[in-house]
C-alpha cells in the first residue's frame, strides 16, 4: 500500500466515523418533535447528544483538512462543483449549533420553539444533502481536462442522487431513534423504539430501490475484490437485523447494526471509487485519482507522522467523553 492509498484510506476512515457518529445525532435532532411531548422531554432528547454533537463534527473538519492537504485537486474540484449543496450543509450546521447552544438562554416558549425548529431543520437538511453529495460522487459528475466541474445544480439533483438523499435521511433517522432508545429515560426511550419500528419500513423501501438502481447508475458492483461481493449484502443483513433486534428489545445490538449498516455502506462507496477520488462522467481519462490529485510525497509523509501522533490522542479523548456520559438522561438529571 503506497502513501497515496494510505491517505485515501485515512480520509475514508474519517468519513466513516463522521457518518456513524453524526448520523445518530442528526437522527435525534430531526426526531425531536416526534418523541418529546413537553419541554422537559425535549430537554432530555437534546441532552442525549448534548455532550457529543460538536465533537462529532470534528470528524468532518478533520476529513476536510486532510483532503485539502493530501489531495488538493480533489478538494478544489469537489468544493467548487458541489459549492451550493456544501454551503447549505454548512448553513444548516450553523443553524443547528445555534439551536443547541442558545435554546436554554431564555425562559421563553417562543424562543425555545424557534430553537427547536433550528435543530430540526439543521439536522434534516445535512442528512439529506450528504446522501445527495456522496451519491453524485460515486456516480460521477462532468469533469473536464482542466479538473473543473462542468455541470450545474440540476446536474447534482438527478433522480439517483435524490434517492440517495432519501436513503441517508431515513437511515440516519432510524439510527437516531435507536440511539434515543439507549440514552433517554424510559418513556421517551420506548416512544423512540416504537418510532424506529415504523421508520424501518420506508427506510427499507428506499434502501432497496437505491441498491437496485446502483447497478445501472454506478460501477460499484463491478469492481474487483471481496467488497463488491459481500459487503453490500452484509450491510443489508445488518439493516434487517436492526428491526428484529429492536422488536426483541435488544436496544444496544439494534443500534450497533444500524451503525454497521452506515459503516459498510460508506466502505462500499470508497472502495468502489478507488483509485479514483472523483470519476468524470465525460470519460475515464478525466477522472481524478489518488495519484493525479495528490500532494507531493514529502507532504504526504510529513502529514502521516503528524496523524500517527495526534489522531490516537483525539480518539482517546472522544472515547473517554462517551464513557463519562454513558448513563441515560432523565428528568432528574436535568437539575
Cell (9 digits) for 195: 418510532
Cα gap 317→322, rounded to integer Å: 9
Omega within 30 of 0 (cis) for the link into 275? yes
- Is the predicted pLDDT of residue 224 greater than 60, yes or no? no
Cα gap 118→95, rounded to integer Å: 6
Rg for the chain, CA atoms, rounded: 20
207 within 8 A of 170, measured Cβ to Cβ: yes
- Is the predicted pLDDT of residue 229 greater than 80, yes or no? no
Least confident of 72-81, 95-104, 210-219, 287-296: 210-219
Rounded to an integer, what is the distance from CA 42 to the centroid of its chain?
23
Q: Per residue, what are the HEC states of 171-210?
A: HHHHHHHHHHHHHECHHHHHHHHHHHHHHHHHHHHHHHHH
User: Band of the pLDDT at 263, cuts 50, 70, 90?
Assistant: very high
Cα gap 161→155, rounded to integer Å: 10
CA dihedral 259, 260, 261, 265 (to 10 degrees): 110
Long-range pairs for 289-294: beta carbons < 8 A, 24 or more residues apart: 290/4, 290/5, 290/7, 290/8, 290/71, 291/4, 292/73, 293/71, 293/72, 293/73, 293/74, 293/77, 293/147, 294/4, 294/7, 294/70, 294/71, 294/73
Q: What is the DSSP letter of 278?
A: E
User: Band of the pLDDT at 335, cuts 50, 70, 90?
Assistant: low
45 within 8 A of 28, measured Cβ to Cβ: yes
Cα gap 47→97, rounded to integer Å: 13
Helix (H) or strand (E) holding 288: strand 288-289
pLDDT tens-place string over residues 43-75: 999 999 988 888 888 899 999 999 999 999 999
* Confidence (pTM): 0.93
Cα gap 228→123, rounded to integer Å: 31
CATH number at residue 170: 1.20.1630.10
Least confident of 11-20, 212-221, 232-241, 286-295: 212-221
Cα gap 36→32, rounded to integer Å: 6
For 30, the domain range is: 3-334
- Is the predicted pLDDT of residue 211 greater than 50, yes or no? yes
Closest CA to 211 of 169, 259, 163: 163
Cell (9 digits) for 38: 413537553
Average pLDDT over residues 279-299: 92
| Count of domains forming the chain | 1
Total residues belonging to the chain: 335
Cα gap 333→315, rounded to integer Å: 27
Cell (9 digits) for 49: 447528544
pLDDT tens-place string over residues 109-120: 899 999 999 999
For 229-255, letters b (16+ CB in 10 Å) and e give: eebbeebbebbebbbebbeeeebeebb
DSSP 117-159: HHHHHHHHHHHHHHHHHHHHHHH-B-B-TTS-B---HHHHS-H
Amino acid at each position: 500500500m503506497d502513501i497515496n492509498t494510505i491517505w485515501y484510506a485515512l480520509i475514508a476512515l474519517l468519513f466513516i466515523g463522521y457518518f456513524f457518529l453524526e448520523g445518530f445525532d442528526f437522527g435525534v435532532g430531526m426526531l425531536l418533535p416526534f418523541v418529546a411531548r413537553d419541554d422537559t422531554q425535549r430537554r432530555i432528547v437534546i441532552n442525549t447528544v448534548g455532550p457529543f454533537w460538536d465533537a462529532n463534527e470534528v470528524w468532518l473538519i478533520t476529513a476536510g483538512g486532510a483532503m485539502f492537504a493530501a489531495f488538493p485537486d480533489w478538494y478544489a474540484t469537489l468544493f467548487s462543483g458541489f459549492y451550493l449543496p456544501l454551503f447549505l450543509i454548512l448553513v444548516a450546521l450553523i443553524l443547528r449549533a445555534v439551536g443547541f447552544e442558545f435554546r436554554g438562554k431564555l425562559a421563553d416558549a417562543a424562543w425555545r420553539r424557534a430553537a427547536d425548529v433550528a435543530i430540526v431543520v439543521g439536522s434534516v437538511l445535512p442528512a439529506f444533502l450528504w446522501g445527495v453529495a456522496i451519491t453524485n460522487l460515486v456516480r460521477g459528475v462532468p469533469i473536464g481536462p482542466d479538473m473543473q466541474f462542468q455541470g450545474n445544480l440540476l446536474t447534482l439533483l438527478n433522480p439517483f442522487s435524490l434517492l440517495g438523499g432519501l436513503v441517508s435521511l431515513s437511515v440516519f433517522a432510524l439510527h437516531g431513534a435507536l440511539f434515543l432508545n439507549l440514552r433517554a429515560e424510559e418513556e421517551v426511550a420506548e416512544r423512540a423504539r416504537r418510532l424506529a419500528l415504523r421508520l424501518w419500513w420506508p427506510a427499507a423501501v428506499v434502501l432497496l430501490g437505491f441498491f437496485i438502481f446502483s447497478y445501472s447508475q454506478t460501477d460499484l458492483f463491478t469492481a474487483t475484490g471481496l467488497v463488491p461481493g459481500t459487503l453490500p449484502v452484509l450491510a443489508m443483513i445488518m439493516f434487517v437485523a436492526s428491526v428484529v433486534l429492536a422488536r426483541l428489545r435488544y436496544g444496544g445490538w439494534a443500534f450497533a447494526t444500524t451503525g454497521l449498516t452506515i459503516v459498510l455502506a460508506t466502505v462500499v462507496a470508497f472502495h468502489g471509487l478507488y483509485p479514483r477520488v472523483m470519476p468524470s462522467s465525460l470519460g475515464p481519462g478525466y477522472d481524478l485519482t489518488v495519484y493525479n490529485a495528490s500532494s507531493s510525497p514529502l507532504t504526504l509523509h510529513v502529514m502521516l507522522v503528524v496523524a500517527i501522533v495526534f489522531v490516537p490522542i483525539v480518539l482517546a479523548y472522544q472515547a473517554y467523553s462517551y464513557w463519562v456520559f454513558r448513563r441515560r438522561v432523565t428528568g432528574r438529571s436535568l437539575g
